[in-house]
């Protein structure tokens, strides 16, 4: 049986993801969450401003992690 091609995955920086959350979570809070989970970045992206590239993570993974911690923060995804 032939192998399935890898599924395309949307990759976001923590800054990009924090900008679409409602209610919000800061980039710093997301960075702490990612570190606590022991995740490694899925890739790197240059932002055009020079300096170090930004780490990217799977959007679906970030969404699931946010949905898991949102109740602990006293918020629910999509409220606000």
The b/e string for 51-70 (b: 16+ C-beta within 10 A; e otherwise) is eeebbbbbbebbbebbeeeb
**pTM of the predicted model as reported, rounded to 2 decimal places:** 0.77
State the Cα–Cα distance between residues 39 and 59, nearest whole angstrom.
13
Please indicate, yes or no, if residue 52 is contained in any of the structural domains.
yes
Mean pLDDT of the region 15-34: 91
Q: Is 31 within a domain?
A: yes
Residue 77 pLDDT greater than 60, yes or no: no
What was the pLDDT predicted at 56?
95
Determine the average pLDDT of the residues in 27-43: 95
Model confidence at 70, pLDDT cuts 50, 70, 90, reads confident
Q: How many domains does the chain have?
A: 1
Predicted confidence (pLDDT) at residue 5 exceeds the cutoff of 70: no
Instruction: Tell me, yes or no, whether 6 lies in a domain.
Output: no
CB within 8 A of 48, min separation 6: which ones? Answer: none
Task: Output the pLDDT for position 78.
Answer: 55
**CATH number of the domain that residue 41 is part of:** 1.10.10
Stretch 19-24: mean pLDDT, rounded? 85
């Amino acid at each position: 049986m032939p192998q399935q091609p890898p599924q395309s995955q949307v990759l976001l920086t923590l800054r990009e993801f924090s900008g679409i959350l409602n209610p919000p979570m800061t980039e710093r809070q997301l960075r702490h969450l990612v570190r606590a989970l022991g995740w490694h970045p899925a890739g790197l992206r240059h932002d055009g401003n020079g300096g170090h590239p930004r780490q990217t993570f799977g959007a679906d993974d970030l969404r699931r992690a946010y949905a898991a911690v949102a109740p602990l923060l006293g918020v629910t995804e999509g409220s606000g």
